[in-house]
């Protein structure tokens, strides 16, 4: 149970602390997490040496007036601990030549649908395993398992992003095969997931053509942090008043180095170019392609 609430730092009865950023102080801490290791637990258990600070937000919050140095120091500690675990994951994955991609987007951009299509198209050519991150439900993992590949669902409760320790536990369960592709579908939002390295090889933002041309300018951290941008749902373009080129230009203003692929999971348009990128990365790791 939460102990005291001091400003934006919450101290739990077991001594663990959570640093809060741009959130209001009104959200519920007495929540449960159903982690990848399969035993749901609340925050009133003893964390021991493994606190999981799941509400750390955000370097941008450093600009918020009135935040004290203690809060900022805690955020730095939370991000630092995550970074250390992410590096451990990265080493584990590299040792097995597993190509791990962190897929990030708003809710509804079509991550799971695109994943289903990619799995159908690439199955038999490369081993694939999936980690599904959502606040609640097993729905997406069940959709992925229906394609025949292994999937672990990670529910983050009120958490708005995956963290490196969650991926670590999911990897222990999944045990992806050497030379395989690991797709990590992050919790849907364009803010928090950008701040937490999971140890992935590359970050892929999925951004649907229905979302508005100026999203890359409004959410620059996500687009800056990405290696690849998949512009999804291009089959809808004839029905929209949206300028695809302007979307691409806005993304490049924020991150000139982005590899950008307009794709449609329904028509299949553009997917060959995306698969070409994947094969190149797999070959670069010495993995099967």
What residues make contact with Mg ion under the rule CB under 5 A?
Answer: 111-112, 140
3-state secondary structure of 82: helix
Instruction: Give 140 or 211: the residue with its C-beta nearer to Mg ion.
Output: 140
Minimum distance from CB of 108 to Mg ion (Å)? 9
Minimum distance from CB of 85 to Mg ion (Å)? 24
Minimum distance from CB of 131 to Mg ion (Å)? 11
Give, to the nearest 10 degrees, the angle between helix 69-95 and helix 164-174: 20
**CA-based end-to-end distance of the chain:** 49
Instruction: Give 111 or 215: the residue with its C-beta nearer to Mg ion.
Output: 111
CA neighbor of 46 nearest in space, from 83, 71, 16: 16
Dihedral-angle region of residue 61 (phi above 0 means left; psi in -120 to 50 means alpha; beta otherwise): alpha
Strands 128-134 and 181-185: parallel
Minimum distance from CB of 112 to Mg ion (Å)? 4
Rounded to 5°, angle at Cα 208 from 207 and 214 = 70
CB 40 within 8 Å of CB 33: yes
Instruction: Give 111 or 203: the residue with its C-beta nearer to Mg ion.
Output: 111
CB 105 within 8 Å of CB 111: yes
Rounded Cα distance between 84 and 287, Å, is: 25
Instruction: Give 54 or 140: the residue with its C-beta nearer to Mg ion.
Output: 140
Local structure of residue 48 (DSSP, 8 states): T
- Residue nearest to Mg ion according to CB distances in the complex: 112
Minimum distance from CB of 56 to Mg ion (Å)? 23
Compute how many other C-beta atoms are within 10 angstroms of the C-beta atom of residue 76. 14
Instruction: Give 57 or 111: the residue with its C-beta nearer to Mg ion.
Output: 111
Both tokens of 126, joined, read 């490369």
CB 49 within 8 Å of CB 81: no
Instruction: Give 29 or 111: the residue with its C-beta nearer to Mg ion.
Output: 111
Minimum distance from CB of 207 to Mg ion (Å)? 14
Minimum distance from CB of 141 to Mg ion (Å)? 9
Instruction: Give 67 or 117: the residue with its C-beta nearer to Mg ion.
Output: 117
Minimum distance from CB of 274 to Mg ion (Å)? 18
Both tokens of 241, joined, read 């008043």
Instruction: Give 140 or 227: the residue with its C-beta nearer to Mg ion.
Output: 140
């Amino acid at each position: 149970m939460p102990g005291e609430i001091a400003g934006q730092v919450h101290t739990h009865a077991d001594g663990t602390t959570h640093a809060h950023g741009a959130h209001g102080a009104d959200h519920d801490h007495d929540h449960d997490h159903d982690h990848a290791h399969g035993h749901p637990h609340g925050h009133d258990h003893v964390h021991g040496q493994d606190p999981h600070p799941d509400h750390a937000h955000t370097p941008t919050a450093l600009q918020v007036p009135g935040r004290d140095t203690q809060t900022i120091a805690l955020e730095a500690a939370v991000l630092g601990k995550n970074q250390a675990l992410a590096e451990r994951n990265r080493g584990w994955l590299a040792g097995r030549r597993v190509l791990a991609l962190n897929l990030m987007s708003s809710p509804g951009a079509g991550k799971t649908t695109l994943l289903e299509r990619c799995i159908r198209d690439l199955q038999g050519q490369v081993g694939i395993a999936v980690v599904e991150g959502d606040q609640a439900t097993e729905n997406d993992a069940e959709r992925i398992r229906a394609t025949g590949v292994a999937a672990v669902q990670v529910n983050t409760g009120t958490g708005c992003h995956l963290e490196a320790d969650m991926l670590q536990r999911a990897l222990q369960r999944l045990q992806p095969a050497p030379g395989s592709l690991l797709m990590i579908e992050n919790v849907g939002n364009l803010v928090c997931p950008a701040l937490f390295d999971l140890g992935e090889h590359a970050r892929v933002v999925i951004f649907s053509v229905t979302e508005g041309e100026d999203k890359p300018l409004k959410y620059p951290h996500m687009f800056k942090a990405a290696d690849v941008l998949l512009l999804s749902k291009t089959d809808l373009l004839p029905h929209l008043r949206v300028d695809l080129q302007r979307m691409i230009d806005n993304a490049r203003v924020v991150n000139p180095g982005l590899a950008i692929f307009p794709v449609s999971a329904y028509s299949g348009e553009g997917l060959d170019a995306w698969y070409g990128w994947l094969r190149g990365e797999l070959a670069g790791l010495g993995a099967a392609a």
